[in-house]
Amino acid sequence: MAKRKTELFGDISLIDIIYSRKDDNSVVLVLVTADYLDGSPETQMDLLDKLEGYLKHIQSDEFKKEYPQKNVFIEVELTELPDVLITDLLAKCQNWCVENGATLRVRVGDNYIRFVDDI
């Protein structure tokens, strides 16, 4: 992926934070956001591009060798509740993450957003 910097996501090609946890045999990749995420097409595309980079990284042999943990989480950290278009986009990305071996978690401050299926 070509290097591309954004105000909201920093360098699109980099993993922001990664750490492992022994207590639940997991590895967590944190995607940090710098400010309010509006619903603009540019913000949506930048978020999808950054998330795609994370998913490609966890599929790499290098990652699998360094992090053999059973559970892989991608955690999107938000400074505040985003535009509803971003929330909807993240809800739709859950299956994409699962298909690529990760569980998507979204955190606003100290609270996680819980997505529920429409009834």
Alpha helix segments (H runs only) across the chain: 41-58, 61-66, 84-99
- pLDDT digit string, tens, across residues 14-49: 999 999 999 999 999 999 999 999 999 999 999 999
Give the pLDDT confidence score for residue 18 in this predicted structure.
97
Give the pLDDT confidence score for residue 32 in this predicted structure.
96
Give the pLDDT confidence score for residue 6 in this predicted structure.
87
Query: 45-67 as b/e, with b when 16 or more CB fall inside 10 Å?
Result: ebbeebbebbbebbeeeebeeeb
Closest CA to 52 of 118, 115, 99, 119: 99
Class of domain 5-113: alpha beta
Give the pLDDT confidence score for residue 66 in this predicted structure.
96
Give the pLDDT confidence score for residue 5 in this predicted structure.
84
* Domain boundaries of the chain, sorted by first residue: 5-113
This model's pTM is above 0.85: yes
Cβ count within 10 A of residue 19: 10
